[in-house]
Structure 1
């Protein structure tokens, strides 16, 4: 698989190119006004309404579109707990490529079912004891397929960055500029792409990563200036945010562009899921609600600013949604 040399980091021009590349397939998701008060404005970028139910479709379709026609027949292989899986599966189906996804055995049922429904083959692994990238590499080598990394790939990062480009455009249509943007962080691909767009268009905008408590490798890595790992591999309702450490490329970007990172408890994430359902009438999974949780619990103050939270995904099992709603 690809060993990053960090000489091929994406730049804002790649985000702009990705925006053109995915325009015919991706949704320009709404920017929902949560409240507009003297103490500040809060918006949610509803990526739960993106195709496949998460922002991951952006990066997946961009990256797969970049594969030359002559190399598409063997298909693609990816690793994912569910949202990248679905994005790659649908993008592959649209582009006429076979897809195989290596997924944890404890992935939410809805994410596994949707990945299969989009036409991909699913190969399970044990998150605690097995190396998913080693499994994916074995499959890739045997089939001659293209490996599509969930976050540490220039095409993926640029594709995710289109969400940041849209945030700036949508706020400008209201006569506003973002003062802060909060993004859920696992491997850091969304944060890296979005921060590239913000750096180019609104350089004074603060960017914050949001992670589950106990899995705050970005916050710790940003504070220390080096990539740090998590002690645990599993153990949070935020199943999509359990990457062990920031990516090589993503950290090279985020260490320059991100202001700080915050951590949110499972209880706070579930409360934010309930808030989104009851007040905003949108369905977020815990991983997708974690930025909203950070604001609702005062971890990033509004202070008279315009703040945008990216509601990254809405692929939540019925039981987990019921738990959040206290049913």
Structure 2
């Protein structure tokens, strides 16, 4: 299936970094003494919670949209998302003076829907359990002549997300370090595939681990079988940002070779990680952004040497966040 598809490379990540320079936030790489003491090794955090729109998704969205030719921009873009990609696309389109339509599930967090609308995008709702969001988005794109911006299975989107990994490598190098392990959350796999491209090109021996909600371990099962596996149900975890049904075709072609490792955490464990991030790390992280942290706290990562945990998003509504804090 992937033989005829052009896969992104580390060079594409480098090119994306140039397009994003001065537009995306270069989020800091933060050494965490408290986490390092807890797990017995050196731990850094990459808080994409501080990125534009509160998640890494802006990187890939902007890298894709900015390459749309001027003559095709008037018709705008269409995307599918439960919230973080929605906001990334809406923000990128707004910066480039383009209209955006987002196909978003009815059960998406209200905060993410409101912020997507506030960024000027049009939101079209659908039922996650009974309707096909991709079919809805394709129909809108065809009707309007708009460009589809996939949430993960796109060469330019993956390259944009890979700039997270590039920054990790560059910032550690300044300290005279290289990562032994980088763990990031995985849904359709754009972030983990992009990070792997950047990291493995420069530190081939580093381990890159895909972290998923328990019950939605499609990457873990796909790594074991060698083919893309599907999750049994479309809903069932409060990690709403990580509920893609299966790894992307392009993302899996990358991660199958460059990642191959996965870890998971239950909703209860993720809730504890959200609370830990707030009380101990002084950071606000959404459930879908905290699975890698939860996997570390639960001892499911081989934490040796220099470990980097990507906190992929911080768009959590007050009710969910309070529930996590209360335990």
- CA–CA separation in structure 1 for the residues paired with 2:189 and 2:78: 20
CA root-mean-square deviation: 1.2
Q: For 2:276 and 2:4, how far apart are their aligned partners in 1?
A: 40
Tell me how far apart the structure 2 counterparts of residues 277 and 297 of structure 1 sit (CA, whole Å).
17
Q: Give the whole-Å Cα distance in 2 for the aligned partners of 1:4 and 1:141.
A: 25
Name the structure 2 match of 1:203: 204
SS of the residue corresponding to residue 74 of structure 1 reads coil
The reply to whether residue 310 of structure 1 matches residue 323 of structure 2 is: no
Q: Hey, what does 1:322 align to over in structure 2?
A: 322
- Give the structure-2-normalised TM-score: 0.97
Please give the residue correspondences for 1:143-154 in structure 2 after superposition, counting only pairs within 5 Å.
143-154=144-155
Distance 1:71 1:122, change over 3 A: same
* Alignment partner of 1:109 is 2:110: yes
Contact 1:56 1:160 in 2 (8 A): yes
Q: Distance in 1 between matches of 2:170 and 2:270?
A: 28
1:280 positional shift: 1.2
Query: 5 Å matches for 1:112-151?
Result: 112-151=113-152
Alignment pair present for 1:86 and 2:84:
no
Aligned residues of 1:89 and 1:99 also touching (Cα < 8 A): yes
Q: Is the 8 A contact 1:100 1:123 kept in 2?
A: yes
Which runs of 5 or more structure 1 residues have no equivalent in the other structure? none
**Normalising to structure 1: TM-score of the pair?**
0.97
CA displacement at 1:7 relative to structure 2: 2.7
- Structure 2 equivalent of residue 257 of structure 1: 258
Alignment of structure 1 residues 186-197 onto 2, 5 Å: 186-197=187-198
Contact 1:6–1:248 (8 Å) recurs in 2: no
- Residues of 2 paired with 1:85 and 1:30: CA distance? 24
Where does 1:137-176 land on structure 2 (aligned, <5 Å)? 137-176=138-177
* 1:103 alignment partner, SS class: strand
Taking the aligned partners of 1:17 and 1:107, their CA distance within structure 2 comes to 33
**Structure-1 separation of matches of 2:143 and 2:248:** 26
| Distance in 1, Cα, partners of 2:208 & 2:161 | 15
